[in-house]
């Protein structure tokens, strides 16, 4: 996730105006998926501007003297109509406990006010059933007589298939299916073995007995400051279906949060991302108060970097934290939270000597097109399953490929690179590189005001000078040599200047950055100047 500085430029043309949504608070039910055990548990999510809280249901004592343990022993009186008034699921043969899956309103179990959907049955009339099969528990309950004492404990992490959706009892299952799966629901609300036909006294709570209530309790709070979101299963390129994970700066993780629909997952992804961005923006503003105007943080945030393995295995991505600050583009393994951290970047590149490139871009009709249609550049070999990718081409041909979770983040990174590069070009004014021309060691300068100048490194005599507008094309051998094609202002003839550089990539990117900044300075509203700059540079 990422956030941009307050002095942002206008949104690029052809983009939706709703790229960013306001910070928000919201709650919703979801499933917490245990990817190791392959079980999902019911949870409730509570999102605030600073924290994502995961809540789990538990049964709490709200009155009376609570027992020393979490166990509750409840006495049920079987009724001629409705029986015990509950149903169960699960069993030892399925590797799950027997759990109360339904409680029928105004019947025996409901009248006790001490039993809840999600209670694991531990004992029946003093007989331990924690390791009993479904049929064994059904048999005990059906033959326990008119007065049945059961001991239960609320199972906070009961697999979701053992519980019905909250507040929806529904009819019992057909017994013809038997207990062939943990989804089988034995309807113990039936009469069972009742020894008489006269109505028995209803089950009801005793006055001095403790009273219980099922509540959502906070179990994990994940701070959103500098947090990141991932929709991919850790260590794989497998996209989770309608699920995401939030990882805090301190390493705390929500685990895989599964939503009922892909739309719900997308809504939560946007909401959490927006709140993370707001907090990151606040952090940037605080940091910039202590920095000089030429060392301001323009943009920073989490991305995933594609790693190229030596064995050419399928692509792997690793989380990285990027920052655009002052004259540099930084790559971190963790966010910089102190002044010293800025000196611990994995890599740092001069902004004038890198080239930002979108692999796919956003259109108002929600379609993606290849970047070469947009930038006029040949696309890199980037056949990855991730939708929102960009690359940063640096000196000596080094390239980094990154992905983000949302299309609006891709647009924000593009705009931030344009702005940061524009600011750095204006601050720098010019860049000079050593080169050789016609066998002589010379200096080649790219100047924001003057254009291109070639002069003798010893005498400082200017050999030739051309404006940016006079550059009509270029070609290079991909190694050290470049041909720059300029139009003579007097003769209108094309003049070719062939130069050789030690780091050709850095020079070409510098030329591109200065031309893009020049175009943007002439028309500030038109910041998508990559393609315009490329009109003057047609690499072979």
Q: Which tens digits make up the pLDDT trace of 500-509?
A: 999 999 999 9
> pLDDT grade, residue 334 (50/70/90)?
very high
The predicted pLDDT at position 193 comes to 53
Predicted confidence (pLDDT) at residue 52 exceeds the cutoff of 80: yes
Terminal CA-to-CA distance of the chain, rounded, Å? 36
Q: Which residues contact 393 (CB under 8 A, 6 or more apart)?
A: 354, 355, 357, 399, 505, 509
The predicted pLDDT at position 184 comes to 61
310-327: per-residue pLDDT in tens? 445 555 788 999 999 999
> pLDDT grade, residue 539 (50/70/90)?
very low
The predicted pLDDT at position 190 comes to 46
110-121: per-residue pLDDT in tens? 998 899 988 999
Nearest CA among 387, 271, 392 for reference residue 320: 392
Question: What DSSP state is assigned to residue 173?
Answer: P
Question: What DSSP state is assigned to residue 291?
Answer: S
Q: Lowest-confidence range among 26-35, 81-90, 230-239, 337-346? A: 230-239
Q: How many Cα atoms within 13 Å fall on the side-chain side of residue 478?
A: 1
The predicted pLDDT at position 203 comes to 53
DSSP 62-79: EES---SSS-EEEEEE-B
Cα 297 to the center of its chain, rounded Å: 22
Task: Give, to the nearest 10 degrees, the angle between helix 504-522 and helix 407-428.
Answer: 90
Residues 210-221, mean pLDDT to the nearest whole number: 89
The predicted pLDDT at position 3 comes to 57
The per-residue pLDDT of the chain, averaged, comes to 80
More confident call, 237 vs 93? 93
161-208: per-residue pLDDT in tens? 665 443 333 333 333 334 445 556 676 654 555 544 444 455 555 556
Residues 324, 356: Cα–Cα separation, whole Å: 12
Residues 224-229, mean pLDDT to the nearest whole number: 95
Predicted confidence (pLDDT) at residue 137 exceeds the cutoff of 60: yes
The predicted pLDDT at position 30 comes to 93
More confident call, 15 vs 342? 342
Reported as type and span, the H/E element at residue 19 is none
Quote the radius of gyration of the chain (alpha carbons, Å): 33
The predicted pLDDT at position 155 comes to 84
3-state secondary structure of 341: helix
Percentage, residues of the chain above pLDDT 70 = 75
Q: Which residues contact 402 (CB under 8 A, 6 or more apart)?
A: 303, 304, 305, 306, 320, 322, 389, 390, 391, 392
Q: Lowest-confidence range among 72-76, 78-82, 199-203? A: 199-203
Strands (E), 469-532: 471-476, 481-487, 494-501
Nearest CA among 282, 362, 326, 275 for reference residue 11: 362
The predicted pLDDT at position 169 comes to 34
Residues 240-253, mean pLDDT to the nearest whole number: 92
CA 222 → CA 55, 117, 205, 218, distances in Å?
A: 12, 28, 39, 11
> pLDDT grade, residue 290 (50/70/90)?
confident
> pLDDT grade, residue 285 (50/70/90)?
very high
DSSP 371-413: HHHHH--PPPS---S-SEEEEEE-GGG-EEEEEESSHHHHHHH
440-465: per-residue pLDDT in tens? 899 999 999 999 999 998 899 999 99
The predicted pLDDT at position 370 comes to 36
345-381: per-residue pLDDT in tens? 999 999 999 999 987 544 333 333 333 333 333 333 3
């Amino acid at each position: 996730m990422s956030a941009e500085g307050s002095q942002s430029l206008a949104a690029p043309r052809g983009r939706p105006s709703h790229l960013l949504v306001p910070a928000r608070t919201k709650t919703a039910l979801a499933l917490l998926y245990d990817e190791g055990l392959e079980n999902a548990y019911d949870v409730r999510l509570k999102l605030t501007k600073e924290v994502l809280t995961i809540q789990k249901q538990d049964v709490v004592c709200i009155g009376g003297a609570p027992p020393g343990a979490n166990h509750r022993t409840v006495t049920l009186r079987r009724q001629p109509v409705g029986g015990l008034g509950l149903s169960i699921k699960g069993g030892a043969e399925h590797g799950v406990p027997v759990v109360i899956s339904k409680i029928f309103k105004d019947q025996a179990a409901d009248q006790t006010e001490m039993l809840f959907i999600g209670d694991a049955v531990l004992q029946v009339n003093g007989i331990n059933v924690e390791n009993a099969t479904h049929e064994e528990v059904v048999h005990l309950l059906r033959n326990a007589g008119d007065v049945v004492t059961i001991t239960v404990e609320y199972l906070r992490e009961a697999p979701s298939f053992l519980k019905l959706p909250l507040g929806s009892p529904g009819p019992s299952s057909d017994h013809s299916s038997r207990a062939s799966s943990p989804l089988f629901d034995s309807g113990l609300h039936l009469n069972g073995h009742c020894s008489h036909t006269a109505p028995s006294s209803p089950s009801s709570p005793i006055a001095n007995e403790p009273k219980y209530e099922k509540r959502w309790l906070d179990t994990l709070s994940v701070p959103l400051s500098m947090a990141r979101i991932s929709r991919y299963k850790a260590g794989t390129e497998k996209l989770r279906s309608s699920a995401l994970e939030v990882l805090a700066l301190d390493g705390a993780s929500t685990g895989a949060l599964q939503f009922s629909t892909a739309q719900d997952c997308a809504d939560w992804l946007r909401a959490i991302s927006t709140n993370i961005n707001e907090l990151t923006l606040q952090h940037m503003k605080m940091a910039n108060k202590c920095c000089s105007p030429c060392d301001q943080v323009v943009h920073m945030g989490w991305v995933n970097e594609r790693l190229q393995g030596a064995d050419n295995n399928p692509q792997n991505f690793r989380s990285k934290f990027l920052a655009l600050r002052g004259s540099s583009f930084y790559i971190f393994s963790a966010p910089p939270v102190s002044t010293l951290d800025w000196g611990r970047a994995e890599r740092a590149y001069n902004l004038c000597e890198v080239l930002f490139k979108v692999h796919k871009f956003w259109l108002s009709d929600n379609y993606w097109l290849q970047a070469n249609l947009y930038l006029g550049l040949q696309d890199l070999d980037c056949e990855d399953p991730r939708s929102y990718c960009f690359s940063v081409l640096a000196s000596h041909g080094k390239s980094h490929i990154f992905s983000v979770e949302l299309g609006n983040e891709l647009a924000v990174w593009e705009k931030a690179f344009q702005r940061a590069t524009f600011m750095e070009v204006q601050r720098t004014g010019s860049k000079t590189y050593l080169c050789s021309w016609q066998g002589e060691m010379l200096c080649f300068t790219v100047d924001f005001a003057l254009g291109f100048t070639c002069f003798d490194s010893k005498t400082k005599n200017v050999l030739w000078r051309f404006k940016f507008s006079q550059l009509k094309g270029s070609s290079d051998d991909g190694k050290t040599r470049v041909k720059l094609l300029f139009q003579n202002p007097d003769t209108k003839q094309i003049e070719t200047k062939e130069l050789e550089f030690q780091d050709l990539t850095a020079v070409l990117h510098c030329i591109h950055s200065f031309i893009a900044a020049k175009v943007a300075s002439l028309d500030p509203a038109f910041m998508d100047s990559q393609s315009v700059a490329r009109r003057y540079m047609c690499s072979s």
